Amino acid sequence: MCREILRGSVRVADNNTQRPDISALGVRPPIQRVYHMLMIEKYRLAFDISPVPMLLIAGDGEILLANSGFLELFEYNASELIGLSVEVLVPAPTREHHPELRNAYHRVPTKRSMGAGRDLYGVTKSGNVIPLELGLEPVPDSEEPMALVAAIDIRQRKAHEVRLRQAMDAAASAMVMVDHKGSIVFVNQAAAKLFQYEERDLMGKRVEMLVPEEFQRAHPVYTSSFMSNSTARSMGLGRDLFARRRDGSQFPVEIALTPVDTPEGKMVMSTIIDLSERVAAAEEVARKSKELEALNVELSHFAYSASHDLKAPLSSIVGLLNICLQDLETNDIDEVRANMSKVMEISRRSADKIEAILTVARAGRDPVERSLIQLEEIVQETWLDLTGGKAGTELLLDLDHKDPVMSEQTTLKVIIENLLSNALRYSDPKKSEHTIRVSSRTIDDGLHVAVSDNGVGIPEENHDKVFLMFKRLDERSGDGLGLALVKKQIDRLGGEITLKSTVGHGAEFSFTLPGEDEDLEQDSGDSRR
Amino acid sequence: MNKIPVIVVDDETIDRYIVKRQLAKCDDFEQVLEATTGAEFLEAYFSEPRLMSQQSQPLLVLMDINMPQMSGFETIEELQRRMEADSGPDNVIILMFTSSNNPEDRAKAELFPTVKGYVVKPLDEVGVQAIRALYYA
């Protein structure tokens, strides 16, 4: 009878074999047993009417009392559970050091929740592990260390949390929740991915780790002012915002801030949208429209120049023929003959010029065959064509690129021909030696070629004008089409042409020709053979 | 009546020849002077006594627009700048002389106080009379 009172309302004499931890309980002095009995009786009624699953535990961990809610939750009968050590309810990983934790509690007993933020679990008779929230309370007026334990089944809450978490992770937008101190308390998968971190690298850290360095100092001030006067709004107040990835790189973002009141205090949920693609698309549109603008300028420039340059020879022809008519009346046949020759000469030049203009206009429209080319061969051939083998100018070759190069043979020939012809034409009569140097080297994305001379050079103010169509800068200029054509072809091939020149020292035109990826790979393979 | 002193500024030899021939038929003009670039014209205008303002008639300048180095317009800008700065000779009547009938060029020509007209190449008998009329206008 005494035993029944002590161990609850059900007999336990026959369940020795079901007590895994009974040895830990040791033997109690009679005075303690009486004391336990008193406490059990004191709490029994309260236990039975409490809807919350509850336990009364002795200082050594013995379960003294459990209410029906608790028994149901852990799938025990009272007779099975009472008298066991509480450790039977603790899942394996923690069970071993649980007595230690329990002893620590009894040294400084306070009312508190167990686990200090860790997830807590209990194990039922059948071995089910269930998440719990546990409240601990020392038994008041107790001379023996005893504790009341309230256990709340949080399986449903956990399931909700998981579902919420899944929903947050499914969201395309990155979400970062920050507490009032500016520490990260939540990130979804999109956020972790966006910032290139693992979730665990972010939790509990300062949110400033996601902020570009130049704003890191000011950011906590913004955070606290938002916390003290928070309404949902977008961050930055119209300024361009940037966020910082793990590798330190920055990217444009749009951030919406929403205040959230939680039991842990005021927090702010920030929804972050990566604008990189949008910004890149806007830049692409801007680039295209700039390109179109440039094309328009080129077109109107062409129309303007055409009115000058194509009409001028026709005017001259009409003028000359008019004079021929007058001279015929006075029978000045010699003058007529001379002027007729001039007319023919102008007509011939005009035809050539129109052909050249058509070449420029066609550049980029007609597909040109790409082939493996030998730069040196092109330069030597062109040089022979231009000089007829008797030049007063020396040609120096400094070709250091990896052969062969894949490009448009005919286009490259046009480019080289124009550059060499200009270099020849603008030699400096004051110098005793005239040299033209063609150098080449392989660069990251293709070929770099420079044609430099020690000629008269080009004044700084004309550097921008040399590539303009029809622009003839002095008497030695050709038809004003050569460099325009060269530039247009190089632009089309995705390269760049630049001019360096000092008057009196010479000029250097250098251009790049990007290799096409596939071809280049093949090329470098060939060149290693 | 005094003859009109005239200079043609044009890089095209043939166009200068046509001007010389056409104006030679008309007694109203002195023998045509020539400059092949804007710079050459400016050099002559500010240094050769023959072209300076002490002559009784203003100098007639037939100015081509499209020339290498300085264009006709650039040459006139420089001329006007130097006329203001050096208070040099300012007895000049300029006619744009070009194959371009481009409205942009015509509009631009009207902005220069020294430019009195616009003559489209090639120059023929009608053109010569037009030049004469513009000069005396």
In three-state form (DSSP H/G/I as H, E/B as E, the rest C), the secondary structure along A303-317 is: HHHHHHHCHHHHHHH
Interface of A with B in 320-339 (CB under 8 A): 320, 322-323, 326
Is the Cβ–Cβ distance between A143 and A35 less than 8 Å? yes
The reply to whether residue A314 touches residue B69, judged by beta carbons under 8 angstroms, is no
Best interface-test mutation with B: which of A300, A321, A323, A479 has the largest number of B CBs within 10 A? Answer: A323
Distance CA A118, CA A134 (A): 11
Confidence at residue A412, expressed as pLDDT on a 0 to 100 scale: 86
pLDDT on residue A23: 43
Pair of tokens at residue A517: 């990826």
Q: Give the residue, A519 or B61, on which the prediction is more confident.
A: B61
The predicted pLDDT at position B16 comes to: 94
Domain A279-362 falls in which CATH fold? Helix Hairpins (1.10.287)
How high is the pLDDT of residue B52?
A: 56
- Cis before B122? omega within 30: yes
Domain ranges of chain B: 6-136
A469–chain B Cβ distance below 8 A for any pair: no
Interface of A with B in 103-122 (CB under 8 A): none
In angstroms, the CA A73 to CA A89 distance is 11
- Name A502's Cβ contacts closer than 8 Å, sequence gap at least 6: A457
Rounded Cα gap, residues B104 and B110, in angstroms: 10
- For residue A266, the SS3 value is strand
- pLDDT > 70 fraction of chain A, expressed in percent and rounded: 87
Q: Specify the higher pLDDT residue, A389 or B98.
A: B98
Give A404-460 pLDDT, tens digit per residue. 777 888 788 889 988 998 898 888 888 888 899 999 998 887 889 999 999 999 988
Reduce the DSSP state of residue A8 to 3 states and report it.
coil
Residue A363, pLDDT score: 67
Q: Cβ of B99 and A308 within 8 Å?
A: yes
Q: What is the mean pLDDT of residues A214-240?
A: 80
Nearest CA-CA partner of A414 in A360, A456, A370, A459: A360
Lowest mean pLDDT among A279-283, A334-338, A461-465: A461-465
Which among B18, B68, B99 is the nearest to A311, CB-wise?
A: B99
Quickly name the fold that domain A2-153 has.
Beta-Lactamase (3.30.450)
Cβ-nearest to A472 among B14, B68, B122: B68
The least confident of A8-22, A334-348, A430-444 is A8-22
Give per-residue pLDDT as tens, A51-96.
Answer: 889 999 888 888 989 999 999 999 999 888 988 999 999 998 888 8
Question: Tens of pLDDT along B2-60?
Answer: 889 999 999 889 999 999 999 999 889 999 999 999 999 998 888 876 555 556 788 99
Which pLDDT belongs to residue B54?
Answer: 52
3-state SS assignment for residue A495? coil
In whole angstroms, give the CA distance from residue A87 to residue A73: 16
Mean pLDDT over residues A354-381, rounded? 77
Cβ contacts of A309 on chain B, cutoff 8 Å:
66
All residues of chain A having their beta carbon less than 8 Å from the beta carbon of residue B12 are 312, 316
**Angle at alpha carbon of residue A192, lines to A191 and A194, rounded to 5°:** 60
Residues 105-134 of B with CB under 8 A from A: 120-124
* pLDDT of the residue at A19: 41
In which residue are the tokens 């009608």 written?
Answer: B126
Count CA within 13 A, CB hemisphere, residue A336: 11
Q: Which CATH code for domain B6-136?
A: 3.40.50.2300
Look at B101 and A307 and tell me if their CB atoms are within 8 Å: yes
Task: Choose from A300, A310, A316 for mutation: most chain B CBs within 10 A.
Answer: A316
Cβ contact, residue pair B122, A322, below 8 Å: yes
From CA A395, how far away is CA A382, in angstroms rounded?
Answer: 11
Beta-carbon contacts of A351 under 8 Å, excluding residues fewer than 6 positions away, are: none
Position A17 scores a pLDDT of 42
pLDDT over 50 (residue A485):
yes
Shortest distance between the Cα of A521 and any Cα of chain B, in A, equals 46
The mean pLDDT of chain A is: 82
| Whether A309 and B66 lie within 8 Å, measured CB to CB | yes
Who among A308, A318, A477 is closest to B122 (CB)?
A318
B78 touches chain A (CB under 8 A): no
Fold of A159-274: Beta-Lactamase (3.30.450)
Question: Residue A440: left if φ>0, alpha if ψ -120 to 50, beta else—which one?
Answer: beta
Q: Which CATH class is domain A371-528?
A: alpha beta
Measured between its terminal Cα atoms, the distance across chain B in Å is: 16
Distance CA A441, CA A398 (A): 9
**CB within 8 A of A474, min separation 6: which ones?**
B68, B69
The ranges of chain A annotated as CATH 3.30.450.20 are 2-153, 159-274
Contact, B75 vs B109, CB < 8 A? no
pLDDT-based confidence at B94, cuts 50/70/90?
A: very high
CA distance A16 to A84: 10
User: How many angstroms separate the CA of residue B19 from the nearest CA in chain A?
Assistant: 9
Q: Do B121 and A315 touch (CB under 8 A)?
A: yes
pLDDT in tens, B43-58: 888 887 655 555 678 8
Q: Check B121 against A316: CB less than 8 A apart.
A: yes
For chain B, counts of helices (H) and of strands (E): 5, 5
Residue A307 and residue B101 in contact, taking contact as beta carbons nearer than 8 Å: yes
Cβ–Cβ gap A308/B100 under 8 Å:
yes
Instruction: Compute CA distances B16 → A70, B21, B36, B67, whole Å.
Output: 117, 9, 9, 13
What count of CB pairs under 8 Å joins A to B?
65
Take residue B137 and report the two structure tokens written for it: 């206008």
Q: With an 8 Å Cβ cutoff, is A309 touching chain B?
A: yes
**Residues of chain B positioned with their CB less than 8 A from the CB of A474:** 68-69
- Write out pLDDT tens, residues A26-63: 567 777 777 788 888 888 888 888 888 999 988 888 89
Q: What percent of chain A has pLDDT over 90?
A: 25
pLDDT per position as a tens digit, A168-224: 888 888 999 999 888 999 899 999 999 999 988 999 999 999 999 888 888 888 888
Q: What is the pLDDT of residue A141?
A: 67
pLDDT value for A510: 93
Given this model, what pLDDT does residue B126 score? Answer: 92
Q: Which pLDDT value is given to residue A165?
A: 85
pLDDT in tens, A298-322: 777 777 767 677 788 899 999 999 9
Rounded average pLDDT over A231-242: 78
Q: What is the pLDDT of residue A365?
A: 64
More confident residue, A400 or B86: A400
Please name which of A112, A31, A109, A122 lies closest in space to residue A81, comparing C-alpha atoms.
Answer: A122
- Pairing type for strands B6-9 and B33-35 reads parallel
A99 compared with A12, residue with greater pLDDT:
A99
Query: What is the predicted pLDDT for the residue at B8?
Result: 96
Q: What is the pLDDT of residue A20?
A: 43
Q: What is the pLDDT of residue A110?
A: 76
Q: What is the pLDDT of residue A364?
A: 62
Cα A289 to its chain centre, rounded Å, is 25
Distance CA A318, CA B75 (A): 27
pLDDT of A95-141, one tens digit each? 888 888 888 887 777 777 776 667 788 999 999 999 988 888 888 76
Q: What pLDDT sits at residue A245?
A: 92
> For residue A78, how many other CB atoms are within 10 A of its CB?
20
CA angle, residues A178, A179, A180, in degrees to nearest 5: 125
